[in-house]
Amino acid sequence: MNHKAGFIGLGLIGGSIAKAVRQYHPDFEIVAYDKNKEALALATQEAVIDVAAAKIDDNFRHCNYIFLCTPVSYNTAYLSQIKGYLDEDCILTDVGSVKTNIHLEAGRLGLDNFFIGGHPMAGSEKSGYGNSKAMLIENAYYILTPSAGIAQEKIDRYKAFIESLKALPVVLDYEEHDYVTGTISHLPHILASTLVNFVRDTDTENELMKNLAAGGFKDITRIASSSPVMWQHICLKNQHNISVILDKYMDALKKIKGLIDSGDEQKLYQWFDSSRNYRNSIPASSAGPIKKTYAVYCDIIDETGGIAAIATILASGGLNIKNIGIVNNREFEEGVLRIEFYDEASAKKAAELLQKFRYIVYER
- Asked whether residue 302 carries a pLDDT value surpassing 80, the answer given is no
Q: Report the predicted TM-score, pTM, of the whole model to 2 decimal places.
A: 0.71
Average pLDDT, the chain: 88
Tell me how far CA of residue 141 lies from CA of 121, 268, 290, in angstroms.
Answer: 5, 34, 11
Residue in 181, 162, 175, 169 with CA at minimum distance from that of residue 143: 169
Q: How confident is the model at residue 294 (pLDDT cuts 50, 70, 90)?
A: confident
- Asked whether residue 73 carries a pLDDT value surpassing 50, the answer given is yes
Pairing of the two strands 51-53 and 29-33 = parallel
**pLDDT, position 334:** 43
* Lowest-pLDDT range of 1-15, 83-97, 248-262, 334-348: 334-348
**pLDDT, position 297:** 81
DSSP state of 292: P
Q: Which residue has the higher pLDDT, 72 or 174?
A: 174
Mean pLDDT over residues 326-349, rounded? Answer: 67
DSSP state of 26: T
- Asked whether residue 85 carries a pLDDT value surpassing 60, the answer given is yes
**pLDDT, position 337:** 78
**DSSP assignments along 200-266, one per residue:** HHH--TT-HHHHH--THHHHHTGGGGS-HHHHHHHHHHTHHHHHHHHHHHHHHHHHHHHHHHHT-HH
In percent, the amount of the chain with pLDDT more than 90 equals 58
Q: Cβ distance 124 to 132 under 8 Å? A: no
**pLDDT, position 335:** 46
Domains of the chain: 4-173 (3.40.50.720), 178-281 (1.10.3660.10), 294-363 (3.30.70.260)
* Lowest-pLDDT range of 310-314, 331-335, 352-356: 331-335
Mean pLDDT over residues 247-255, rounded? Answer: 96
**pLDDT, position 214:** 66
**pLDDT, position 333:** 45
CA angle 126, 244, 106 (to 5 degrees): 65
**pLDDT, position 109:** 96
**pLDDT, position 14:** 95
For 102-151, how does the pLDDT look when each residue is reduced to its tens digit (9 = 90+)?
Answer: 999 999 999 999 999 999 988 666 778 888 899 888 888 899 999 998 99
SS3 state at 32 = strand
